[in-house]
Amino acid sequence: MRVLALSNLYPPDVIGGYELCCRQVVDGLLQRGHDVRVLTSAPRAPCPGEPHVARSFKLTNCYDASFILRSNATVRAMWEAESNLVNAFNVHALTSALAHFEPQVVYLWNLVGLGGLGLVGCLRHIGMPWVWYLGDCVPRMLCSPGKELLPVIAAEFSRQVSGHYMPVSQRVVEEIEDAGVRLNGDVEIMPNWVLGPRPEERQRFYRPGDTLRIVSAGQIARHKGIDLLIGAARLLRDRGYENFTIDLYGKAWDPKVIPLARQEGVGDRVTFKGSCPQDELLARYARHEYDLFAFPTWEREPFGCAPLEAGAYGCVMAMSQSCGIGEWFVDGVHCLKVERSARGLADVFQAVLDGQIDLGPLARRAGAVIWRDFHLDALLPRIEEVLSKASRSPTGGGGTFDEAYHLALLAERLAQVSLQERALASWSSAA
């Protein structure tokens, strides 16, 4: 198949797991003999070129939270419209790639920051089939140029857009549709994955009296539960436990979280390790440097690759009770599901420290399931099947590339005028 993948970011330009997954699937499809091209944004820092990657999109500055917060409301609204609704420049880049490559199917990833609705509208207008990997509730985000979903846009998306979706969990589907955005077409739940050869089974696990080595990796922020982990460390110390450590890997998205460990008096138990390349972190799991992976993320977490990767190497997953990855694993069989609070975390950690929870059986069962069912080699045939089915599906459309670009220019201008009129009305009422 000839497959064109669209992604707002592409490694080595990364923010999180979304774009890493995109590269892994692209590499896997290339190795299986498919002709795959990637259309992504210009990198935020120089990076080496790759023959199958075109960095032609313009990414709206939607991930620089501090800069956005310092901007006035009108500027933010213009950025949000360009990020989510339509960016005519990117529609032109898409039609150029389609004309030169002539793919059989387009593989959509994260479209936030690219004027994602405009790109989907372009594909619909010309009748190009697509498959959309949903590692988050991206359609809902695209229908929300500000913080609030716009019902008129959600209604039109639900009425006009139909395709093939691959969400990573039922939670993602529910979050999108509960907001009023309907996913028309085929929807097949497809989990995230691990890569590489299966390691030798871990033989030694935590024993009471040893130091329980806890790890977490991802964004250092409250919505990921980092403050709760620090609170759990304080509770354990208050209960008389000192034989534990918590290592936290990742970029500090919320700098106010960093001082909490010192303020709570557990700076010697909780260590912020900073960002760590994925390969190096996996090597630490493979060396069995940790016993327990703590993932007290918010309930709307779509999936979470980090605990899956740790679990593949015998590091037991302790996760929030209702996050996306929890759909795939059974509490007390493959993992530990924890009440999302400092006390809930501390209680589970204490049960392990006291020997009430044996990590070995949990780790062995999880490892067997992960390497059998969650390896990319096991999932690629299913992904190929969805792409192939989509490529053969009738699409309607039939418009030209020039028409799609002219419509994008018109929509972009209408959005700008509407936002400017709204700003003027707001200023007039304030005066």
Write out the H or E segment, with its range, that includes residue 77: helix 73-80
* Structure confidence at residue 102 (pLDDT): 96
Dihedral angle, C-alpha 268, 273, 274, 276, nearest 10 °: -170
Segments of 91-138 assigned E as strands: 105-108, 130-134
SS3 content of the chain, % helix, strand, coil (to 5): 45, 15, 35
* Structure confidence at residue 428 (pLDDT): 58
* Structure confidence at residue 67 (pLDDT): 65
* Structure confidence at residue 423 (pLDDT): 60
Q: Which residues of the chain have pLDDT under 70?
A: 65-75, 420-431
Only one residue has tokens 């935590």, namely 206
- Helix intervals (H) in 136-259: 138-142, 151-160, 170-178, 226-238
pLDDT tens readout for residues 151-183: 999 999 999 999 999 999 999 999 999 999 999
Buried b (16+ CB within 10 A) or exposed e, 150-170: beebbeebbeebbbbbbbbbe
- Domains in the chain, please, with CATH? 2-193+378-430 (3.40.50.2000), 212-374 (3.40.50.2000)
DSSP secondary structure letter of residue 98: H
Query: Closest Cα partner for 291 from 312, 271, 319, 316?
Result: 316
| End-to-end Cα spacing for the chain | 60
* Structure confidence at residue 427 (pLDDT): 57
* Structure confidence at residue 394 (pLDDT): 77
The SS3 of residue 210 is coil
* Structure confidence at residue 304 (pLDDT): 87
Q: What is the pTM of this model?
A: 0.91
pLDDT tens readout for residues 20-47: 999 999 999 999 999 999 999 999 889 8
Segments of 210-257 assigned E as strands: 212-217, 244-249
Query: Closest Cα partner for 124 from 394, 305, 414?
Result: 394
